[in-house]
Amino acid sequence: MAARPPSPLRKLVPPVPSKKTPGKQAAPAKAAAQPIPLESLPADSWTVTDAQAGFALDRVIKEHFAEFSWNRARSMIEQGKISCAGAQVTVPIHVVAAGDEVDFLPRGTKRQNAPRKSAADGVEIVFQDSQIVVVHKPAGIATVPFEDSERDSLDKRVALLLGSKGRAARLLVVHRLDKDTSGLLVFARTEAALQNLKSQFRFHTTQRRYVAIAHGSVQSRTINSRLIQDRGDGLRGSTKNPNLGREAITHVRGIESRGAVSLIECRLETGRTHQIRIHLSEAGHPLVGERVYAKGFRGEILAAPRLFLHAAELGFTHPTDQRALFFESATPPEFKDFLSRQKKDPRPVISLEKEVSLQPVRYQPGRLREHQHLPVAAAKSRPGWQRAKSASGKRMKAPASRIPDKSRG
């Protein structure tokens, strides 16, 4: 068979020049820069300045080692490579004072000599029975592990506290608090209790009050928006599209204004992720200590040792005996210390002697209970509320009357 002649179209298509240059080899691809091992860095020592007084230790480390990421700065502390004022510190939110000597020891101390964290470090069991356990969460610890490799979290600590002979007790997560938020949290101990409590949170029949410190002079108001996971810059935020996101309602009450900040309380009608932080930031009043949602704030960002957000009240119906349980947690001392250093205005936003509440809303299925919108003083004076002692000796309140059940209308 005769060979097939080449196609005439091949003459019209110019040959593609080779990218390789004769006699020269292609340069190898650049490998991603690897961080320098901490052990290879020289030891360092410096003194905390007056401007850094009251900062968290991880922020001081980040400012000193500007090229380090936040995660690496915290890792240096958690690995026992940092000492402050002559003592080894393994907690990133440790508050420093002016004049403290900070030492970086590349090789740290021997692992067996480093102080071990106890399950009870900062965690307090406020109330427990066979169905539920209410705890006080400290700031700086996640409610549940963010990654599988994360060893320390609130649920693990509480499970160890409730367990016996070194074995962790069964614990089921009902809701969460942000890592840097402190305050009251409830866990379930049985599947039936979990489903009951989740239903209460889903239909907004629980009572939650938060205390916070925000930038600027905050006035009492109700913030209502629809929150989405990505507002365009990778962060959660509000949208004006009524077909997107989930409704979020926050009732804000200004308590006192001190200089450039305000002490406020927030009552949640819904419980979306980062709801309070997002609503206050979008209103022009980011929380003091906010590291994520403070972008775009035109005023001065005040330094703080932690995020000033505290879950001060928690109320819900007991999943089995239908008692209405109500717990309170005192404002952390670091809140008072920070406010004491701020200049006090002649007049508070709302007089503490005569509290002004948000407009009361009567209980409806799927809505908040009436007393959730009342000021603390008014809620305490409601008839039928009795005093009781919790397992830790703290006082709690349980009303004799039953909280309305959604299923009963």
Phi/psi of residue 51, nearest 5 degrees: -70, -25
Cα separation, 171 vs 160, in Å, equals 10
Cα separation, 134 vs 117, in Å, equals 21
Helix (H) or strand (E) holding 373: none
Q: How many residues does the chain have?
A: 409
Handedness of CA 182, 375, 219, 366 (dihedral sign): positive
* List 100, 178, 321, 345, catalytic entry: 178
Examine the residue annotation and report whether 148 is marked as an active-site residue of this protein.
no
Cα separation, 144 vs 173, in Å, equals 8
Cα separation, 297 vs 281, in Å, equals 8
Cα separation, 220 vs 81, in Å, equals 45
Structure tokens at 70: 């936040």
Phi/psi of residue 279, nearest 5 degrees: -60, -45
Work out the widest C-alpha separation in the chain, in whole angstroms.
109
Catalytic residues: 178
